[in-house]
Every structure is written in C-alpha cells, then in structure tokens.
Amino acid sequence: MKLVVIGAQWGDEGKGKIVDFLAEGADIILRYSGGANAGHTVVIQEQTFKLHLIPSGVITPDKKAVLGIGMAVDLENLFEELDGLEQSGISWKGRVFLSDRAHVVLPQYKELDRQKDAERRIPIGTTGRGIGITYALKAHRDGIRVADLFDPAVWQTFKREEKSFLEPYREKIRDMVVDVSGFVHQHRDKNILFEGAQGTLLDLDLGTYPFVSSGISCAAGAAIGGGIGPHSLDRVIGVFKAYSTRVGNGPFPSEFTEQRDGKLGDTIREIGREYGVTTGRPRRCGYLDLVALSYACRSNSIDGLCLIKLDVYDGMEEIKACTAYRIDGNEVVDFPATIEHLNKAQPVLKSFRGWKGEVKSCRSFDDLPSEAKDYIHFIEEYVETSVDIVSVGHNRSETIVRRNPWTQS
Ligand code: GDP
Ligand code: IMO
Ligand code: MG
C-alpha cells in the first residue's frame, strides 16, 4: 500500500508527528519534496527529534528512509542530521537512501536566497536555505543532481569551488544513492509512506503564489518524488491544526487580529509553542480556515484528515472557525487565486462552545468532551471528509485513531 501524508495548511501542521506514528505500519518512508526549509518534530516520551531532510520514519528502527526525487538536498545539512541521529542512538547506516535525481543545494545558494528575498518589493520571508535558487536552477536546467557527482563528463564542467565542496560527499553518499523509481518498483508489495513537506498553501502551483515555497508539496508531488504514476498512490492523509499558523509573509485571511481577538494570537502562540523549527521565528496564528481546508481536501483528493493540537484549545470558553470570506461585500467559499482578494478577505466566523478540562489523556473519540466532538463533526461535514486521527499532545502516544489509514479499520 502507498499512503501519502501531506500538510493541508501553510506547513508545520504536525506531519512529522503523524509520519512517525504511522511509520510502525510502513516498510519504507519516502520524503518527496522540499529540503532543509522543512522542520519536522517527533516526540517520543522525553526525547525530541527535529528533522529537516531525513524522513521522520527514520526514528523507527529497521525502517528504510528515502530522500526522494523531488527534493533539494543540502549535503552539509544531511550529514549534520545523520550525525545527530547517531548521537541520539539512532543507527541509520544501510537504511537511509538518496535519490540520484534529487537536486543538490550549494552553499552559495543560501546567501543568494537571502539576498534575493531582501531585494523583493514584498519579501516572502524565505527560510534562507537556498531552496528557491535550487529549484529555479533545476527549472532552468542548470541544476546539479546527485547523479551528476558520479558522471565524469558532468563533473569536469563544475567550477573549482563546486568540486571542492562536493568532492568529500562523493564517497560519503556513494552507497546511499539509488534510482528511486526502481527502488519503489522493487518494493511494490511493501507499505510505503510518503512524507510531504511544507503544505498545500505553500505549494508552488496550489498555494498563495508568490508567497509559497518552490517544491511540489501537494499530494501529486508524492508520485513524482517516488517515481511512480498517480494511480499507484492508494490513500492521501491531510494533516491540519485545530487552528491555523503561517511563518513568513503572505495572505492569511483568518489571522487573529488584536482589534477583533484581543490577546488570543499571543495566547495560542504560547500554549501551542508556535515557533519555527528551522528558523525559530514566531508563527503567525489564526482561526481554523475551513475555506482553505476544503480547497486542500479537493485539490489533493484527501481521503482522510488528521486533526492536530486539539489540546491547545483546552479550557477556552468559545472556539471559532472561518466558514467563508467576505470580499467586497460578497460571501465567498472558494479559495481565491489572487493575493488582492485574499488580502481583502474578512473571515466569516462561526462560534462553538469550548470544553473544560484536558483532552491530553483521551485515547478514544468517545473519551473527548462533547464540545470537542461537535467541533470535529462540524469540520467533517463542512469539508466532506472524515477526521480519522486526532492528536491531543505532541507525544507519539497522545494520539486517537478513529480509522487506521493502513487498514481502514
Ligand atoms: P511539521 O513541519 O508539519 O512536521 O510540524 P512541526 O514539527 O514544524 O510543528 C508541529 C509542532 O506541534 C511540533 O512542535 C510538534 O511537537 C507539536 N505537536 C504535534 N502534535 C501536537 C499535538 O497534538 N498537540 C500539541 N500541543 N503539540 C503537537
Ligand atoms: P514544514 O515541512 C512552514 C515557508 C517560509 C516562507 C516560504 C518560502 O516544516 O511544514 P522557502 O525557504 O521554502 O523558499 O520559504 O515558505 N516555509 C515553511 N513554513 N513550514 C515549512 O515546512 C516551510 N517551508 C517553507 O517560511 O514563508
Ligand atoms: Mg515544520
């Protein structure tokens, strides 16, 4: 079976937690897009892992972890991360693989990325990891692929400083490099978990362009990153938070405002510890945006949803969610394409009763307070997609499974 986990908002939805949780049922975990701009967190009891390039499934012993075709790989970061795993007692040798078609991020791309962003009329607020530059060079057909490090004809075209940076990695990665399409074909009867990075609204085509990243973070990217056709993907799981967050610039219609919501933005940021894993930047926070979530469900053919951070709403008198946008006096329920419309959009908010006590210890849907269940039922009806998993804390164990994506039971 081939199962895809994607972000259904602006990234940082909790993909790392869910991929780690689902990794038990997988043989192979394959990251399919982005690079070290991503920051995926896995918490197992007292131990916290922050992964940028390596699939989150690597924490589970004996699973194979693949960096897929669509990725932009910073080799320096990759080995820092692998060394970090080793120091945390996770042995990775022989089970981490790297696509020969993945693109390589050179050190100078990072500086260029920061420079270009600073020169923009409205900066995107990139992570400065050289991602946009790497994908631009790829599209321009001037990029460097992993396979090129082993092709003498291409190697001799590299500049001296490029060769001196890349040379030490040739030996280090030699045994890790695979043809991912062939690898996935060879393991076609196994369970493969595709790990997305970023999120639908940061996707180059589906997102709030130009305030997006440069990879294919939507579900379709899993097929490309794994070197298979879209029909071969069996199920798509969309991960979303009980509220919304965004890092960097760009439209965010349901963002909390001090005028309307008082200190709610600061409160949620502190309770939810909403600070970027990669850059440490405070994340912008807002209400759950059901217009955007519907769009994500539709444009990725999401089969089941995974609701994260329900616990952050513990003890609130009232919870609200955005059910439409008001733009120029009209109510709109389709996610607009233009930044102008998204910036003008005022959220139409629906209120829900909050709950008393903590959901952290709940392990079945029935254990949840009735108000929390009402909130979830409304979301399911609105987006016409079932919420199959509910996360009630950052720990691996703090998870409620209503329907197991591997078995459907
Ligand atoms: P990703 O990029 O989608 O993998 O998400 P991040 O790791 O960037 O951000 C998600 C954050 O939420 C991490 O700090 C997680 O440890 C944390 N987290 C995940 N699930 C839950 C949850 O159910 N409740 C709380 N409070 N935190 C969670
Ligand atoms: P994960 O996988 C949240 C955002 C950046 C910036 C924009 C472009 O952890 O969910 P880039 O460096 O990619 O050119 O930046 O995209 N961004 C993310 N925001 N989570 C991520 O990844 C992100 N990856 C990029 O903040 O606004
Ligand atoms: Mg993240």
Residues 368 and 220 in one domain: no
Q: Is cis: bond before 210, omega within 30 of 0?
A: yes
| DSSP-derived 3-state class of residue 123 | coil
* Joined tokens for residue 353: 């009763």
Q: Which residue, among 2, 49, 5, has the nearest Cα to 302 in the 3D structure?
A: 5
Atom of ligand 2 nearest to the CA of 13: 10
Active site residue 12: yes
Q: Check whether residue 301 and residue 379 sit in a common domain.
A: yes
Q: What is the pLDDT, as a whole number, of residue 34?
A: 98
- Shared-domain flag, residues 215 and 362: no
- Whether 265 is covered by a domain: the verdict is yes
Is the domain of 129 the same as that of 263? Answer: no
Q: Is the pTM of this model over 0.85?
A: yes
Same domain, yes or no, for 155 and 210? yes
Cβ contact 224:70 at 8 Å: yes
- CA-closest residue to ligand 1 atom 11: 14
Q: Indicate the number of domains in the chain.
A: 2
Is the CB–ligand 2 distance for residue 39 below 6 Å? yes
409 part of a folded domain: no
Domain that holds residue 333: 241-401
Closest ligand relative to 312 C-alpha: 1
Residue 35 is assigned to a structural domain of this protein: yes
User: How do residues 83-103 score in pLDDT, each as one tens digit?
Assistant: 999 999 999 999 999 999 999
For residue 161, how far is its CA from the centre of ligand 3 (angstroms)? 32
With a cut of 70, list the residues of the chain below it in pLDDT: none
Q: Within this chain, do residues 27 and 157 fall inside the same structural domain, yes or no? A: yes
**Pocket lining for ligand 1, CB < 6 angstroms:** 7, 11-17, 39-41, 43, 272-273, 277, 308-309, 311-312, 391-394
| Residue 408: per-residue pLDDT | 87
- Judge residue 118's burial from the number of C-beta atoms within 10 Å of its C-beta, 0-12 exposed, 13-18 middle, 19 or more buried: exposed
40 catalytic residue (yes or no):
yes
In a domain, 407, yes or no: no
For residues 182 and 103, is the Cβ–Cβ distance under 8 A? no
- Residue 11 alpha carbon to ligand 3 centre in Å: 6
Q: Is the Cβ atom of 208 under 6 angstroms away from ligand 2?
A: no
Which residue in 20, 40, 117, 388 is the catalytic one?
A: 40
CA of residue 197 to ligand 3 center, whole Å: 8
Contact assessment for residue 26 and residue 253, using Cβ atoms and an 8 Å cutoff: no
CB 74 within 8 A of CB 92: no
Cα four-point dihedral sign 41, 381, 358, 244: positive
Tens-digit pLDDT profile for residues 313-329: 999 999 999 999 999 99
pLDDT (0 to 100) of residue 164:
97
